[in-house]
Amino acid sequence: QVQLQESGPGLVKPSQTLSLTCTVSGVSISSGGYYWSWIRLHPGKGLEWIGYISYSGNTYYNPSLKSRVTISLDTSKNQFSLRLSSVTAADSAVYYCAREGAVTTRFFDYWGQGTLVTVSS
């Protein structure tokens, strides 16, 4: 059973860096065949894809966030992480980690339960 679980601070001050970790169980993130993504849901708005990292460490970021985003892998802990710098109130959202197939199964089939991050002083 594949499971994903987000963790990290629920409150971040403006201009600081948001850091979240997704712990994956039931599958090895280094086994290949998948992209590991971060997606967020703004209050009252829709879903925004932030970016992904492959099993080999290749990344692709949403151009709208690219200058502030870093996604990394820790294969020893079966985790991947998100860092978003210089946050503002507009970055307040529920953040999800999710798995996407890299070849034929190009959809998000497993998601974490989401973690609310509020940017406020």
Please report, as ranges, the residues that interact with other proteins according to CB under 8 A. 37, 45-49, 51-52, 60-64, 96, 98, 100, 105-109, 111-114
Cβ proximity to other proteins: between 29 and 40 the closer is 40
Backbone dihedral angles phi then psi of residue 66, each to the nearest 5 degrees: -50, -40
Dist. CA 9–CA 4, nearest whole Å: 17
Question: Pairing state of beta strands 93-101 and 108-111?
Answer: antiparallel
Cβ proximity to other proteins: between 39 and 119 the closer is 39
**Tokens of residue 40, six digits:** 């967020």
Q: Smallest distance, Å, CB 66 to other proteins?
A: 9
Cβ proximity to other proteins: between 15 and 72 the closer is 72
Q: Beta partners for 117?
A: 93
Q: Smallest distance, Å, CB 20 to other proteins?
A: 15
Q: Smallest distance, Å, CB 76 to other proteins?
A: 26
Dist. CA 104–CA 94, nearest whole Å: 28
